[in-house]
Structure 1
Amino acid sequence: MKDQPSPIRETDDEARKLARVLLRSARHAAIAVLDPETGFPFASRVLLATDIDGVPVILVSRLSAHTKALAKDPRASLLTGEPGKGDPLAYGRLTTQCMAEPVENGHPFHERIRTRFLDRHPKAKLYIDFPDFLFFRLKPERASLNGGFGRAYHLDGRDLIIQSPANEEIAAKAAETVRDLVERHPDVAAMLAVRLNAPESASWRICGIDPAGFEIISGDLLVRYEFETLAVDSDHICSNISKIAYSIP
Structure 2
Amino acid sequence: MKDQPSPLRETDDEARKLARVLLRSARYAAIAVLDPETGFPFASRVLLATDIDGAPVILVSRLSAHTKALTSDPRASLLTGEPGKGDPLAHGRLTTQCLATPIERGHVLYERIRTRFLDRHEKAKLYIDFPDFLFFRLEPEQASLNGGFGRAYLLEGRDLIIQSPANEEVAAKADETVQDLIGRHPDIAERLATRLRAPESGSWRICGIDPAGFDIVSGDFLLRYEFETLAVDSDHICSNISKIAYSIP
> Would you call these one fold, judging by a TM-score over 0.5?
yes
Match of residue 129 from structure 1: 129
**Partner Cα distance (2:178, 2:201) in 1:** 20
1:90 maps to what in 2?
Answer: 90
Give the secondary structure class of the aligned counterpart of 2:8.
coil
| Pairs within 5 Å for 1:221-240 | 221-240=221-240
* Aligned residue identity for 2:127: Y
1:9 equivalent to 2:9? Answer: yes
CA displacement 1:34-76 (0-9 Å, x = unmatched):
0000000000000000000000000000000000000000000
Deviation at 1:85, TM superposition (A): 1.0
CA distance in 2, matches of 1:147, 1:84: 13
Does the 8 Å contact 2:202/2:219 carry over to 1? Answer: no
Structure 1 residue 200, shift from structure 2 partner: 1.6
Scaled by the length of structure 2, what TM-score is found? 0.99
Give the residue type in structure 1 aligned to 2:95.
T
| Alignment of structure 1 residues 64-143 onto 2, 5 Å | 64-143=64-143
Matched, 1:165 2:165: yes
Residue number in structure 2 paired with 1:36: 36
Identity %: 87
Q: 2:21·2:225 contact (CA, 8 Å) conserved in 1?
A: yes
Deviation at 1:4, TM superposition (A): 1.5
Number of residue pairs aligned between Structure 1 and Structure 2: 249
Counterpart residue identity of residue 110, structure 1: Y
Q: Please, what TM-score do these two structures have when normalized by structure 1? A: 0.99
Distance in 2 between residues matched to 1:163 and 1:68, nearest whole Å = 31
- Matched AA of 1:89: L
**Unpaired stretches in structure 2, ≥5 consecutive residues:** none
- Partner deviation per Cα, 1:178-232 (whole Å, 9 max, x = no partner): 0010010000000000110101223100000000000000000000000000001
The within-5 A match list for 1:181-192 is 181-192=181-192
One-letter amino acid of the structure 1 residue matched with residue 173 of structure 2? K
Q: Counterpart of 1:78 in 2: which secondary structure?
A: strand
